[in-house]
Structure 1
């Protein structure tokens, strides 16, 4: 008698068709059998292994490839869409930095489509997906866009620009536009301070981390309004009327003048004032003749004292221009600005002494008039230099307060240990005795980027010195951002775009003045 168990019949297993097999293997149950939806073949034994083997051997390779192809298609479509959005951001950034109207986006897209028709027609659809309408470009720049500067643009709306400068633990400096506040009402100190407080609180910046505030623009240093008023009257007469302007240029060309025109004057810029005065002085004879022919009498041209005042103003503003240019270098540290101001103050003292002795070595325009026989009042002009020196000493009094700190930052290896705070003395001695760090500092000295690299490499045993150095690096050392903003604002808010809204103007200025958009990253796609 056999002890083996009888074989189990299939029917006794009570196998049931599972609904999930339809989605996994394309089978349905029909009359107790599993029927393939693809080839209509029947599988009598309802086992998952049988259905899976049927699908894998007869249909799997074909349909798995199609599924992968469909998935790749969706992934490619998403990738192309993301690339189109990113390209839209890049082009919107370029439009803002170039100061072009938002409507230029559609023109750029049309140009790219024409180019694609010729160079890569198979990829034309990629360019069709670019969204560069005026509203889109404005929105992109609003998303991309975050010193204190006050300027009135073409719509007579004063703009207060607030820049922030900060430093992280790695001594990496960030210097960007925080806010552009339209001043539709008064522009008193109280109003400006209120806007500043609102901007800082809106950005969530802690007041206890504030190191300093730097403002651009100040009252006049020289009281020579009697000269500037006449100069502006003549320039406005010539340039504000197209007929006179054309006639004046034709007149200069006819007499073969060195220059072909007079320059416009911008009230808030010292550089503009210096260039205008110099050109006006060199064309004073031509301007006088033209004004006389136009029946507009300017008696000041016949006053030797007024002409000498003009010459003095030309010489001193040229020197102020040189100083202004030194203060406008991008990435400049506060120590460089301190040295430039200190040097200019020293020059003023020298000029005062020389003018008192009627030594006009550094005043070539005045010297040329003296050589022609014009009298020169040495005491009067020496007094003007003295007033200018007092103005500088008053406005840069903070520089004197922090002089020792600036000198320590500029060259810690030459600093007098006894002159620094006692908290820094031990660290300073250790630093000065480290020959390796001294060599690295000499290589980085005077260069902002290399100075930051040197400070990053400072060992952790100099915590107090690092704090002092980081505070110095937080100070604005240049008016470059203000000058750049001024130029960009004038270019964008011109008479052809005077309806540019405050919000869009702020976005454009923030994008155009930021160092690198990609450093902050585009929005996630």
Structure 2
């Protein structure tokens, strides 16, 4: 983030020179004016690769200052095939690695807002997630007809809150399973990071002999939000007067 509180995407390229030296060069910088999620970074990166490919095809070295002096042949012609081929291969590799996200687009759209899902896409969704289309279709129609759930989602704009509203109804068992399956794909790393922070507070230099079993117990108390020790039961089981 720069001084203006704008996220900047810096693209660096690494390459091996003719003398087998590993070098890095700043390729370009793009401001992320709206969001800075992983999907936004990927989209901006792929757009920049396409733009670089177009520029190299016409020997435009706006973003490749070092090529302008090195890659011209004796006739002053730029041999673009090598570099354009590399960029095309790069795009193909990204398309292959992230193909699952493209295939899951219908499922992610449904997760974001099931009320806007076109029933014509139901077959695509059923094949992607492997569920009974007939039962699911009837449940989805029932949910769409429930104006209370739909208006609740419209007010909050939060998919998680909307799914919590759906989970509160026991009539939508297939929707429950499908929603849970999709939501679990987007687990937060917050708890993991918080656990490591708590562990550092528990196991200090002064408490370096704490055993794993006690460490786990203390972590459970500190991290688990739904875990509360039953102090009353512990007190009853404990013998207060050890002399008796």
* Aligned twin of 1:311: 26
The whole-number CA distance in structure 1 between the counterparts of 2:204 and 2:86 is: 42
The whole-number CA distance in structure 2 between the counterparts of 1:471 and 1:447 is: 14
Q: Which consecutive unaligned segments of at least 5 residues does structure 1 have?
A: 1-221, 227-302, 327-339, 360-365
SS in 2 for 1:413: helix
When the two structures are aligned, how many residues end up with a matched partner? 190
CA contact (8 A) 1:511 1:517 kept: yes
CA-to-aligned-CA distance 1:488-508 (integer Å, 9 cap, x gap) = 445655667655433344334
CA contact (8 A) 1:485 1:513 kept: yes
* Aligned twin of 1:349: 46
Q: Does 1:480 align with 2:163?
A: no
The whole-number CA distance in structure 2 between the counterparts of 1:429 and 1:380 is: 52
Deviation of 1:352 after TM superposition, in Å, equals 0.8
Deviation of 1:223 after TM superposition, in Å, equals 9.0
Deviation of 1:350 after TM superposition, in Å, equals 0.4
Distance 1:406 1:499, change over 3 A: same
Distance 1:389 1:483, change over 3 A: farther
Distance 1:521 1:439, change over 3 A: farther
SS in 2 for 1:408: helix
* Aligned twin of 2:106: 404
CA-to-aligned-CA distance 1:46-75 (integer Å, 9 cap, x gap) = xxxxxxxxxxxxxxxxxxxxxxxxxxxxxx
SS in 1 for 2:116: coil
Deviation of 1:408 after TM superposition, in Å, equals 1.8
* Aligned twin of 1:59: none
CA contact (8 A) 1:409 1:469 kept: yes
CA contact (8 A) 1:353 1:382 kept: no
Alignment of 1:408-447 (within 5 A): 408-420=110-122, 421=126, 422-423=133-134, 424-446=136-158
CA contact (8 A) 1:410 1:445 kept: no
SS in 2 for 1:311: strand
Distance 1:493 1:410, change over 3 A: same
* Aligned twin of 1:62: none
The whole-number CA distance in structure 2 between the counterparts of 1:429 and 1:393 is: 35
Taking structure 2 as the reference length, the TM-score comes to 0.54
CA contact (8 A) 2:112 2:159 kept: no
Distance 1:345 1:311, change over 3 A: closer
CA contact (8 A) 1:431 1:437 kept: yes
CA-to-aligned-CA distance 1:73-103 (integer Å, 9 cap, x gap) = xxxxxxxxxxxxxxxxxxxxxxxxxxxxxxx
* Aligned twin of 1:455: 166
User: Which range moved further: 431-440 or 494-503?
Assistant: 494-503
Deviation of 1:406 after TM superposition, in Å, equals 2.7
The whole-number CA distance in structure 1 between the counterparts of 2:88 and 2:194 is: 30
The whole-number CA distance in structure 1 between the counterparts of 2:158 and 2:102 is: 20
CA contact (8 A) 2:111 2:159 kept: no
Taking structure 1 as the reference length, the TM-score comes to 0.29
The whole-number CA distance in structure 1 between the counterparts of 2:192 and 2:185 is: 15
CA RMSD for the aligned pairs? 4.6
The whole-number CA distance in structure 1 between the counterparts of 2:107 and 2:26 is: 40
The whole-number CA distance in structure 2 between the counterparts of 1:507 and 1:418 is: 51
CA contact (8 A) 2:115 2:144 kept: yes
Q: Which consecutive unaligned segments of at least 5 residues does structure 2 have?
A: 1-11, 57-61, 69-79, 127-132, 236-244
Distance 1:433 1:383, change over 3 A: farther
* Aligned twin of 2:130: none
SS in 1 for 2:115: coil
SS in 2 for 1:515: coil
CA-to-aligned-CA distance 1:274-319 (integer Å, 9 cap, x gap) = xxxxxxxxxxxxxxxxxxxxxxxxxxxxx9x93xx2534x969x98
SS in 1 for 2:149: helix
Deviation of 1:415 after TM superposition, in Å, equals 0.7
The whole-number CA distance in structure 1 between the counterparts of 2:213 and 2:184 is: 28
User: Which range moved further: 405-414 or 495-504?
Assistant: 495-504
